[in-house]
Amino acid sequence: MPKPDLIIFDCDGVLVDSEIVAARVEAELLREAGHEITPEELAQHYAGLTFRDILMKIEKEAQILFKATIIEECEALVDKRLRAEVKAIPGTAEAVQGLGIPHCICSNSSTQRIEAMLTRTRLLPLFEGVIYSSLETPTKLPKPAPDVFLHAAKEKGADPANSFVIEDSVHGITGARAAGMRVIGFTGASHTHPLHADMLMEAGAETTISRMADLNKTIEALSSFAADI
């Protein structure tokens, strides 16, 4: 049976249960700035985006201007909370160790934050040297742009059409599909919601899983037939 060239993992909400932690901090800061939103609403509508992009969308939608320092304040608070609270998604280490396929991370988070989270969750040895942050690619364009995915494929010598991406957000799936890659949606983190799987499928995921224990057999099953990208 043919094997993929590369398996690409998003980090937040796929490898580590960090989206809800960040959403709680971001929602608190937004409420203090006059925009009422819950962490659950924030995670559902804006998961996968940088906080800068979230602010830009809210400013446009709600006609509100935020203070210039809110981004730096948020980044510092999120980093502090993640260092103290973030946990690995159950079964992640076993799933990655059982792949037998080249793999990497493509994320909108900074390499520093990713490494800090993976260090706390003891996942870093599985991804040392294969962490790609959109902030550090040649274009620096975050998802939903496809740039970080294409950069990783080039670095790893992989054919995008024979690469799988594991994503928990619509924005990440949009970027992966634009890169010509196949996508498995993941709904096993704390920020998941009743419509999560449907949203990921509508964005272009071929299927969704809610447990990392199902990852390898899902990749094996999907690898047995070609997808219409």
Q: How far is CA 100 from the centre of its chain?
A: 22
- Separation between Cα atoms, residue 158 and residue 5, nearest integer Å: 5
Q: What is the pLDDT of residues 110-119, one digit of tens each?
A: 999 999 999 9
Angle of CA points 48, 49, 55, to nearest 5°: 150
Structure tokens given for 209: 């899983």
Taking a C-beta distance cutoff of 8 angstroms, is the pair 5, 75 a contact? no
Per-residue pLDDT, 44: 81
* Digit-coded pLDDT (tens) for 117-150: 999 999 999 999 999 999 999 999 999 999 999 9
pTM of the model: 0.89
**Span 31-89, pLDDT tens digits:** 998 899 999 888 888 877 888 889 999 998 888 889 889 999 999 999 999 999 999 99
